[in-house]
Amino acid sequence: MLRGIKSWLEPSSLWIALFGTICVVALSLTKIGAYVPTHDVNHLDKVMHFGAYFVLAVFWLFALKNGKKRGIPSLLVAIGLVLLGVILEVMQGMFTSYRTFDWWDALANSLGVVVAVGLYVMRSKKK
């Protein structure tokens, strides 16, 4: 069953990674529902940032491993996604009135990427 899922996902992996990136950008820059202060939800916001960038990193690592761009190292994925997270935080502070720049969000984004890439590299070395 897993082979069937893998064979279905491999040709679509780049599109999945691009779609995931578009979703993260859109969710980062649009106003969604009522504002919930993060101090009232025990930093759930940071967990969500970590999770979103962890999944996004996994998408990109999988897409570039299986696509024609096999030569792109995981370090470039990490650098690109960390930069994306920081740039989106800056854009939130500069271009929106309903979002603010938060270093802790940028750190949570970066940690999600670093953990995903670290696990990927450790798993790759075992093979």
Residue 69: its pLDDT value, please? 53
Nearest 5°: the CA angle 26, 30, 31 is 145
Whole domain around residue 61: which residue ranges?
2-126
| Total count of domains within the chain | 1
Alpha carbon 72 to its chain's center: 17
Alpha-carbon distance of 75 to 122, in angstroms, equals 13
Write out the chain's pLDDT in tens, 127 residues: 557 666 666 778 889 999 999 999 999 998 876 555 555 556 788 999 999 999 999 999 988 885 555 556 788 999 999 999 999 999 999 988 888 899 999 999 999 999 999 999 888 777 6
Measured distance CA(65)–CA(44) in Å, rounded: 31
Give pLDDT, residue 77: 92
Tell me how far apart the terminal alpha carbons of the chain are, to the nearest angstrom: 22
